[in-house]
Amino acid sequence: MRASPLAHVPGMFTVNEETKVQSCLIIGVFISYLCFSSSFWFFRGDREAIKRIAYEFVEDRAKEGVIYVEARYSPHFLANTKVDPIPWNQKEGDLSPDEVVHLVNQGLREGERAFNIKARSILCCMRHMPNWSMDIVELCKKYQHEGVVAIDLAGDESLSSEANPDHRRAYEEAARCGVHRTVHAGEVGPPSVVKEAVEVLKAERVGHGYRTLEDQSLYRKLLAQNMHFEVCPISSKLTGACDPDFTKHPVITFRKDKANYSLNTDDPLIFNSSLHLDYSVASKYMGFTEQEFKRLNINAAESCFLPEKEKQELLISLYKAYGMLKSTPF
């Protein structure tokens, strides 16, 4: 998720080449954490559109065979009042970040009912807007029982959160109130950003995390503690975060090391991507097998931000779909 996505995607249309490889649907069941934040900045201030996009987001995931999804976005980017500064040079209007969250929750809930999958959301703090972060954690708390499961921090990784204590305060409050925590880190920023995410912000999952590999001692430590990495192959090519050659993608190392990670899609509307495409790329260029797809989906489910009981139900659905008994060791 990025503040000005269009500026980052010179390779945007190359995705279509990959469409051709959309060979196989390897397995019909996915768990995913997706970002749709910047996808809908076009619809800022428009209540019906915001709800609709959230609803259609669930529809599209259901069509892809997803059974559980966590969508993340920045409510402030879609608001035009009670947000300072008002984003996108808009005039002040009457849609607050709080109401944005309410609308997205409604859209997701209607989507869940219509398409019979589970959808939750994650609210993003933005690194360059530390003064939005306390607001975000308050929204996470307020809507904790209406589908908001976690807090995220996204944006320019050169802005450390040490220098912006508001992010740290927001994450401390999140931890105190049982709000789950993930942080975009090590996507383009150095391993120190990952270290800070885990040690200072107490992230339970790391968004992307590729550059962790440059600090072997940190990487070994995270492997040992089963830290979960949310990997987005196509996005990392389009944003230039990783070598454009998919056969050199860091997720291949994660796989070899049996790391805890999932495959996800970033900004499906902006990148015109889909989970199928990310899986096809992994299958075609990275040598992923059905066995590995199952393993990573189980890890994704185990690392999801649902309450324990619902997480167990989700795992059982997966085991059933994969024809595995729950007690079968993997």
Write out the residues near ligand NAG by the rule CB under 6 A: 13, 16, 19, 84-85, 129, 131, 226, 228, 260, 272, 299, 302-303
42 vs 78: CA distance, rounded Å: 9
Min CB(106)–ligand NAG separation in Å:
27
- Residue 44 vs 228, nearer CB to ligand NAG: 228
Beta strands in the chain (DSSP E): 30-35, 66-73, 118-126, 148-154, 180-185, 205-208, 228-231, 260-263
The active-site residue out of 18, 64, 173, 187 is: 187
- Residue 51 vs 276, nearer CB to ligand NAG: 276
Min CB(277)–ligand NAG separation in Å:
7
Q: Contact, 174 vs 184, CB < 8 A?
A: no
Q: What is the 3-state secondary structure (H, E, C) of 27-42?
A: CCCEEEEEECCHHHHH
User: How many H-runs (helices) and E-runs (strands) does the chain carry?
Assistant: 14, 8
**How many other CB atoms are found less than 10 A from the CB of residue 243?**
13
Min CB(133)–ligand NAG separation in Å:
10
Min CB(70)–ligand NAG separation in Å:
14
Instruction: For residue 187, give the amino acid letter.
Output: E
**How many other CB atoms are found less than 10 A from the CB of residue 289?**
12
Min CB(52)–ligand NAG separation in Å:
19
- Residue 248 vs 330, nearer CB to ligand NAG: 330
Q: Contact, 153 vs 184, CB < 8 A?
A: yes
Known catalytic residue at 187: yes
- Residue 236 vs 299, nearer CB to ligand NAG: 299
- Residue 193 vs 306, nearer CB to ligand NAG: 306
Active site residues: 187
